[in-house]
Amino acid sequence: MNALETVNRYVTEAATTLKLDDALMSFLLTPDRQLRVEIPITLDNGKQTQLT
């Protein structure tokens, strides 16, 4: 499960508990933008990899 799925699960639970209407829940579940970061690292064995 990635971070977006986790957040969507919590938002859905909260929206259901608060009895928000479907249009507002849909708005809250639709991301406006996403920031993706990639970090190159060298492992202990000398291999290089990228963390996302």
Any idea where the domains of the chain sit in the sequence?
A: 3-51
Across the chain, which has 52 residues, the per-10-residue mean pLDDT values are 90 96 94 89 95 87
Q: What is the pLDDT of residue 18?
A: 96
Helices H / strands E in the chain, number of each: 2, 2
Q: What tokens appear for 46 in the block? A: 């000398």
Q: Model-level pTM?
A: 0.61
- Buried b / exposed e across 3-24, counting CB within 10 Å, b at 16+? eeeeebeeeeeebeeeebeeee
Nearest CA to 3 out of 24, 23, 11 is that of 11
